[in-house]
């Protein structure tokens, strides 16, 4: 196992929670920056693992977000320990903040940063206030820095803060050097939109999952955006954290909304920031996915 190199702690997430994790060969880690298609990829993995559509629970509970501070880590670890099937775990932590195992698989998901930003604004606008208050209080007790948050109705102030933080770019920068490792797969939101079945077959091949050919139509259908929104209880308890539940968390699933919101100057600032943080090939992939550039 590669050791955890960097400590990442925030109001929402704390990678110290990995300390008690007991790895099993074949574990699947869905590794994404926030709002890049995490829940989508979790649902894809679950649909592949259970091609008959009979997972042992909602996707987000079967495949928990280990470093999130929403639930006691003891509960999350106990749930994982009790699982007898092949396990899947979600993380938003960069590559240098999670453990690495040669006999585990890591799926890294990216998305055009401008679309990530628009999704992030919607995400932050609908988190239940009482949950934020709880998280802030516990973070203060644990000595976690709170950081700054612009007014929710000021998208332009949010963009400046988001670009300054550059969490999306720094996250991808930690995984990019690992893209050629045999146990790492890069997937892109845009590619999933363009060819869901083709990308799911890539994921299945990477994970060594043999889905019966006759099962593929149903396996793919469960992972369409419309299907996920139509059966939110099978995906996760969205209502606990978000006003409006799945309707706000699984908002639009579209790309390009930033074109009607961000100014030319802001788009130029975005381009300058992404090129400052990432090498040119990673910049190209983040904007266009496999069809623009193949990381393999």
Question: Are residues 273 and 114 in contact, defined by beta-carbon separation less than 8 angstroms?
Answer: no
Structure tokens at 238: 């969205």
Question: Are residues 45 and 107 in contact, defined by beta-carbon separation less than 8 angstroms?
Answer: yes
Nearest 10 degrees: CA dihedral of 74, 107, 58, 247?
A: 110
Alpha-carbon gap, residue 221 to 28, rounded angstroms: 22
* Catalytic-role residue among 85, 92, 123, 291: 92
Q: Which residue has the tokens 């300058």?
A: 272
Alpha-carbon gap, residue 269 to 230, rounded angstroms: 38
Q: Residue 123 catalytic?
A: no
264-277 vs 280-288: helix axis angle to the nearest 10? Answer: 130
> Where in the sequence numbering do the catalytic residues fall?
92
């Amino acid at each position: 196992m590669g050791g955890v190199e960097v400590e990442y702690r925030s109001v929402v997430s704390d990678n110290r929670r990995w300390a008690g994790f007991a790895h099993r060969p074949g574990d699947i880690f869905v590794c994404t920056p926030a709002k890049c298609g995490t829940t989508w990829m979790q649902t894809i993995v679950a649909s592949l693992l259970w091609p008959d559509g009979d997972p042992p629970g909602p996707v987000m509970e079967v495949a928990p977000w280990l470093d999130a501070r929403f639930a006691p880590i003891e509960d999350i670890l106990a749930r994982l320990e009790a699982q007898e099937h092949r396990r899947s775990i979600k993380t938003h932590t960069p590559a240098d903040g999670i453990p690495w195992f040669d006999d585990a698989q890591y799926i890294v998901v990216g998305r055009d940063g401008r679309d990530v930003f628009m999704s992030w604004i919607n995400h932050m606008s609908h988190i239940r206030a009482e949950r934020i208050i709880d998280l802030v209080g516990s973070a203060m007790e644990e000595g976690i820095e709170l950081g700054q948050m612009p007014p929710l109705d000021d998208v332009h102030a949010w963009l400046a803060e988001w670009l300054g933080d550059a969490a999306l770019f720094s996250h991808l920068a930690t995984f990019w050097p690992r893209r050629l490792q045999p146990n790492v797969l890069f997937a892109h939101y845009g590619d999933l939109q363009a060819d869901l079945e083709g990308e799911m077959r890539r994921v299945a091949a990477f994970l060594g999952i043999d889905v019966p050919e006759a099962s593929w139509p149903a396996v793919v259908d469960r992972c369409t955006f419309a299907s996920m929104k139509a059966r939110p209880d099978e995906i996760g308890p969205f209502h606990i954290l978000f006003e409006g539940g799945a309707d706000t968390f699984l908002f639009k699933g579209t790309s390009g909304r930033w074109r009607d919101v961000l100014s030319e100057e802001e788009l130029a600032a975005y381009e300058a920031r992404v090129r400052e943080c990432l090498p040119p090939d990673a910049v190209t992939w983040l904007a266009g996915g496999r069809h623009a550039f193949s990381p393999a």
